[in-house]
């Protein structure tokens, strides 16, 4: 039986909230892997202040690429290259287009998936961020929980909690950005939620899975895992759409959204 992991819904459905009343469960006293109580995210000053700073320039940059503020977003990150890419859906084509790439300021651990709470590994896989995972009052400036462990992680008995993309340049299993970078990322993601995107996808890879890079890892313990991740990346590269993702027999499956 297939286990559902991710099928981001991108329909724009009006919501009755302020522009940024909204990828949390977090206090993170000693580690960003610690679970935390749920926080309400309505109209907190830090997120609104960030949006006021960055929104005008973001809207100009989006218009230059025929993209729109508030439209659905998708995030892809590569651990080895320390790059986070933010895509925005093009209204005309229905495809995601790369809007900006951001340097990852800090990411602990090594190549390979996260296996257990406290191992300081950044996860590798396919995750989804609903509005409830956004934390506009994080001690790491702004943050959102990526949703680790997902269904596949749980089926493999992997553990861990409160794995985030956040600011403040420090990481114990999270992807840490500069505060300037997370201001833009958070603002675009929160705007997408407010405009009706029920959840945005976050895909994390060990490295760009080119044929040459994959061949260099053919003897790695994680080669089969990385080859499975590559299937998901290949789907996106071909269609410029995020697929419906399932988990079965310890592997991800990828299907077109209907």
Which amino acids are annotated catalytic? 166, 174
Strand partners, 102: 84
Residue 31 CB burial class (10 angstroms; 0-12, 13-18, ≥19): middle
**Dist CA 169 CA 154 (whole Å):** 28
Task: DSSP for 104-145, please give it.
Answer: --EE-S-SS---STTS-PPP-EEEEE-GGGEETT-TTSSEEE
Q: Would you state the structure tokens that stand for residue 126, as one six-digit string?
A: 């396919």
| SS percent in the chain: helix, strand, coil, step 5 | 25, 25, 50
Residue 183 has phi, psi (to 5 degrees) of -55, -45
Find, among 146, 202, 141, the residue nearest to 166 by Cα.
141
Q: Where are the beta strands (DSSP E) in the chain?
A: 3-6, 73-78, 83-89, 96-103, 106-107, 125-129, 134-135, 143-145, 164-166, 175-176, 200-205, 244-248, 251-255
């Amino acid at each position: 039986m297939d286990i559902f992991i991710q099928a981001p819904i991108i329909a724009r459905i009006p919501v009755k909230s302020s522009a940024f009343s909204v990828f949390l469960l977090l206090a993170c006293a000693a580690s960003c892997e610690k679970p935390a109580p749920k926080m309400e995210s309505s109209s907190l000053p830090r997120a609104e202040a960030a949006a006021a700073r960055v929104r005008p320039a973001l809207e100009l940059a989006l218009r230059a690429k025929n993209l729109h503020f508030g439209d659905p977003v998708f995030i892809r990150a590569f651990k080895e290259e320390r790059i986070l890419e933010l895509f925005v859906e093009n209204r005309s084509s229905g495809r995601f287009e790369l809007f900006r790439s951001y340097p990852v300021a800090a990411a602990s651990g090594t190549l390979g998936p996260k296996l257990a709470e406290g191992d300081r590994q950044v996860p590798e896989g396919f995750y989804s961020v609903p509005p409830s995972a956004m934390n506009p009052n994080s001690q790491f400036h702004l943050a959102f929980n990526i949703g680790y462990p997902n269904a596949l992680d749980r089926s493999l008995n992997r553990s861990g909690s409160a794995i985030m993309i956040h600011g403040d340049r420090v990481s114990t299993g999270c992807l840490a950005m500069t505060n300037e970078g997370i201001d833009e990322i958070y603002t675009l993601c929160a705007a997408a939620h407010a405009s009706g995107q029920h959840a945005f996808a976050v895909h994390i890879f060990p490295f760009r899975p080119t044929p040459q890079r994959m061949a260099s890892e053919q003897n790695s313990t994680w080669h089969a895992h990385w080859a499975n991740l590559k299937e998901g990346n290949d789907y996106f590269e071909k269609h410029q759409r995020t697929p419906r993702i399932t988990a079965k027999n310890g592997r991800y499956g990828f299907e077109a959204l209907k």
